[in-house]
Amino acid sequence: MNNSLFTQLLDLACGAFLLAAVVVLWRRELAAIVRLFALQGLALAAIALLLGLHEDRWDLIVVAAGIGALRASLLPYLIRRALDALVADRTRDQDGARAYTYSEEVRETEPLVNVAASLLTAAALTLLAYAVARPLVELDPTPATRALPVGLAVVLIGFFVLVTRRRALAQVVGFLLLDNGITATAFLAASGVPLIVELGVSFDVLLAVLVLQLLTARVREAFGTTDIDDLRELHD
Amino acid sequence: MSPTAFAFLLTAPAAVPLAVAGAYALAAPRTRPTAKAFVAELTGARQRASAQGSVLVAEAPEPDQVSARHGQDWAGLVSPAVILTCGSLLAADVVDDGPKAVYSGLLRADALTAWMLLVVGAVALIACGSAPAYLAGERAAGRASVRTVWRYHVLVQAFLSAMCLAVVTANLGVLWVAIEATTIVTAFLVGHRRTRTSVEAAWKYVVICSAGIALAFLGTVLIYYAARQAGIAEAWALDWPTLVAHADRLDPAVTRLGITLIVLGYGAKAGLIPLHAWLPDAHSQAPAPISALMSGVLLSVAFAALLRYRVIADAALGPDFTRVLLAGIALLTLTIAAGLLLAQRDYKRMLAYSSMEHMSLIALAAAIGSPLALSAALLHIAGHGLAKATAFCASGQILHLRGTSKIGRVRGLLAQVPWLGALFGLAIVGLLGFPPFSLFASELGIARAGFAADGGLGWVMAAALLLVLIAFAALATRATHMLLGPAPDAETAQAESPSALWPLVMGLAACTALGIATGPLGDLLTQAATVLERA
């Protein structure tokens, strides 16, 4: 693959990667958010694949396939299943109120920061990421490291989602955006961390999502809602 | 020692608990399909649905079941014993022959590793020794079904395994994986009661710790990037000794960013500001032996990771960067802990905030960074682990006894349960920093090192001592309130079982022994501090 094509494709994948994170802030339907997260996983796998092809490293291509399988299909599937379980649970409880509960549990009805302000914040966070990443790019200016601020921007946006969204599953997606951002940073900066670390990290993320999925069910069982803002029993 | 034996000693602390966890998981009775189990599940679910403090009927267990349960609860002591044995053998070897690595640098033992292994083993011995009494209490109260007890054992052993892996690995990426794994396995231990409060604590714990520690991973990635750019090969770019040796070649700007993220991230797990909010909730909701493990060693295992990064940062950036960062974080954490201790009405939360106080003292010692400060910090890690584990295990028994964790509703412990009351009181006295407990020696060491250091650290130390005094007053008045006074009328002097008390006695005895003379551990402590100051 020649260099300019590689750069263009890499920038395209990184653009899609960032765009998916920003659109997560825009959408309120949890199902749509999960789909966007899956798309972002694909973009991440594409970044790893491009780097692998560019550097002729087969191990990176295998890692890219693994990342695609985990982040574009398995994790979205798990969250999707948790979402369906919440809806099914509620409709079994009170059959008549289906339409009402539908809007209640599967939508981010009232995020702490509204959509317009969220999008503006995302823009500000992206600028911040570019400012912070200047020394990182200057250390070794290649096409890949020039795209590195995108990874940091997604990390910041993930944090923002985690802090401002109230639905438990939206927070899980926020955590995963954060994690996607870090993985992208690792690929763009140094073509990924060593394989054993990458495996350990993926395993940890998978387990963390399983734990959070079970905890979501328990939050629902104990509080009757998955609105994390209602968790106010413990304070000083 | 032959390399094979050495490799075995390094592998066993992480592998044996994992094997025990596997054995527990395999040995767990599969009673799900039977009608009896179904009924038990159903009543369990009903009890969960009813309010938390409801009165529950205790069932009389059959004799053979009881003996099986005892075996099952005591089998958990195998792992702490193995960790302690391996820790002492490694200590003896490392003190004489210096650090050694096996499996191409994946696992490595130096004096700090041996020291942390000994601390983990000792605290785990207290926590696992207290587990049978705790579980018996839970069973008597009808809160523990057979399945939850097995799950408890599996998760505790996995937790120990992850902590030991974090201690023995030299690869900074594997270190991160192990510390994140501790969050995952303890999530269900924090939330095992399924009440509103414990589910809330578990959710906050997982979200805050995972997000916080994700920052540490980003920091690790940046250090890796800097190391690769400095010409270190892929396989060695996350190896701690290699990074320390070549730290002067790391790009300062990238390293600065990476170290800041790492301090914030591992600081979250060590109970330091700004991501400390999970700590009081998780510590107060977890079962007492788990609180003991989390407060006694999990915080310090995360902090030991920070200490290792501090060496790299000091070599790459000069000592001032981490000094300002750590001193600032330590003072802020200390302020928050002292302030919230003053307003505390719950004794488990009180102990949690006391942990934050002690961790910030250790952070301050790391900021000072002189040999005296570092060995005092390591001694403080050990002393705090032992005393806090004792205090938490005692508080669990107090909770069983009185059914409340409100300080205002607990009076006259000494009159009702003289042994337990005295042990809890002594543990608090130890945490307050009185002699003969080792926290006296270490706090004195930290204070002396602080006033000897230049660059305004004396003033920081003075402010810290003032805050420690506030925390001291708060902790002392609350503990006195709980211990003194007349025993409650309904249930006067109760019989106390020695099986529940020996771990507490042992913890305090170890803490006292460390305070009087470090003995053969003195060499290890000095060498461990040397490992950390080589800059």
Question: pTM of the prediction?
Answer: 0.92
- Give CA B93 to chain center in angstroms: 26
* Within-domain flag for B43: no
Contact flag A139-B226 (C-beta cutoff 8 Å): yes
Q: Rounded CA gap, A16 and A12, in Å? A: 6
* Within-domain flag for B44: no
By C-alpha distance, the chain A residue nearest B235 is A194
Contact flag B221-A186 (C-beta cutoff 8 Å): yes
Residues 6+ apart with CB under 8 A from B337: B353, B354, B356, B357, B360, B467, B471
Is the Cβ–Cβ distance between B330 and B363 less than 8 Å?
Answer: yes
Residue A217 sits at the chain B interface (C-beta within 8 Å):
no
Neighbours of B38 (CB within 10 A): 12
Contact flag A136-B235 (C-beta cutoff 8 Å): no
Instruction: Write out the two tokens for B506.
Output: 């042992």
From chain A, pick out residues whose CB is under 8 angstroms from the CB of B171.
Answer: 196-197
Digit-coded pLDDT (tens) for B405-451: 898 888 888 888 889 999 999 999 999 999 889 999 999 999 999 99
From chain A, pick out residues whose CB is under 8 angstroms from the CB of B177.
Answer: 197, 200-201, 203-204
Measured at the alpha carbon of residue B247, what is the angle toward residues B244 and B249, in degrees to the nearest 5? 150
Range 164-193 of A in CB contact (< 8 A) with B: 168, 171, 175, 178-179, 182, 185-186, 189-190, 193
* Within-domain flag for B319: yes
Q: Rounded CA gap, B470 and B116, in Å? A: 30
Residues 6+ apart with CB under 8 A from A209: A75, A78, A79, A172, A176
* Within-domain flag for B529: yes
Q: Containing domain of residue A149, as a range?
A: 3-230
Q: Rounded CA gap, B94 and A164, in Å? A: 49
From chain A, pick out residues whose CB is under 8 angstroms from the CB of B202.
Answer: 215, 218
By C-alpha distance, the chain A residue nearest B196 is A222
* Within-domain flag for B82: yes
C-alpha Rg value of chain A to the nearest Å: 19
Gap from B208 CA to chain A (nearest CA, Å): 10
Contact flag A194-B226 (C-beta cutoff 8 Å): no
Q: Containing domain of residue B8, as a range?
A: 3-35+65-533
> Residue A227 in 3-state DSSP?
strand
* Within-domain flag for B41: no
How many alpha carbons fall within 13 Å on the CB side of residue B484?
Answer: 6
Gap from B12 CA to chain A (nearest CA, Å): 20
Residue B172 identity (one-letter amino acid): L
Choose the closest CB to A222 out of B195, B225, B280.
Answer: B195
Residue A162 sits at the chain B interface (C-beta within 8 Å):
yes
By C-alpha distance, the chain B residue nearest A168 is B203
Residue B385 sits at the chain A interface (C-beta within 8 Å):
no
Instruction: Write out the two tokens for B504.
Output: 């507490």
* Within-domain flag for A235: no
Q: Kindly report the three-state secondary structure assignment for every residue of A186-221.
A: HHHHHCCCCHHHHHHHHHHHHHHHHHHHHHHHHHHH
Residue B424 identity (one-letter amino acid): F
By C-alpha distance, the chain A residue nearest B173 is A197
Neighbours of A29 (CB within 10 A): 12
* Within-domain flag for A236: no
pLDDT for position B303 = 96
Residue B496 sits at the chain A interface (C-beta within 8 Å):
no
Instruction: Write out the two tokens for B379.
Output: 């001694």
Q: Rounded CA gap, A41 and A33, in Å? A: 12
Report how many domains make up chain B.
Answer: 1
By C-alpha distance, the chain B residue nearest A198 is B173
Name which of B155, B221, B236 to mutate to probe chain A: the one with the most chain A Cβ atoms within 10 A of its Cβ: B221
Beta strands in B114-258 (DSSP E): none
Report how many domains make up chain A.
Answer: 1
Q: Rounded CA gap, B171 and B51, in Å? A: 47
Choose the closest CB to B196 out of A132, A193, A233.
Answer: A233
From chain B, pick out residues whose CB is under 8 angstroms from the CB of A168.
Answer: 203
How many alpha carbons fall within 13 Å on the CB side of residue B393?
Answer: 37
pLDDT for position B498 = 82
* Within-domain flag for B355: yes
Gap from B58 CA to chain A (nearest CA, Å): 24
Q: Rounded CA gap, B234 and B251, in Å? A: 17
Residue A5 sits at the chain B interface (C-beta within 8 Å):
no
By C-alpha distance, the chain A residue nearest B216 is A182
pLDDT in tens, chain B (535 residues): 788 999 999 999 999 999 999 999 998 876 544 444 444 544 554 454 444 443 334 444 455 666 677 778 888 899 999 999 999 999 999 999 889 999 888 999 999 999 999 999 999 999 999 999 889 888 888 888 888 888 999 999 999 999 999 999 999 999 999 999 999 999 989 988 888 899 999 999 999 999 999 999 999 999 999 999 999 998 899 999 999 999 999 999 999 999 999 999 999 999 998 899 999 999 999 999 999 999 999 999 999 999 999 999 999 998 899 999 999 999 999 999 999 999 889 999 999 999 999 999 999 999 999 999 999 999 999 999 999 999 999 999 999 888 888 988 888 888 888 899 999 999 999 999 998 899 999 999 999 999 998 878 999 999 999 999 999 999 999 999 999 988 776 655 567 778 889 999 999 999 999 988 877 888 999 999 998 886 5
Choose the closest CB to B206 out of A138, A212, A231.
Answer: A212
Is the Cβ–Cβ distance between B90 and B114 less than 8 Å?
Answer: yes
Q: Interface pTM (ipTM) of the complex?
A: 0.93
Contact flag B191-A194 (C-beta cutoff 8 Å): no
Choose the closest CB to B199 out of A186, A211, A215.
Answer: A215
Contact flag A135-B253 (C-beta cutoff 8 Å): yes
Gap from A97 CA to chain B (nearest CA, Å): 23
Q: Rounded CA gap, A43 and A50, in Å? A: 10
Range 211-240 of B in CB contact (< 8 A) with A: 211, 214, 217-218, 220-222, 224-226, 228-229, 234-235, 237-238
By C-alpha distance, the chain B residue nearest A211 is B184
* Within-domain flag for B411: yes
Gap from B254 CA to chain A (nearest CA, Å): 6
Residue B186 sits at the chain A interface (C-beta within 8 Å):
no
Is the Cβ–Cβ distance between A158 and A179 less than 8 Å?
Answer: yes
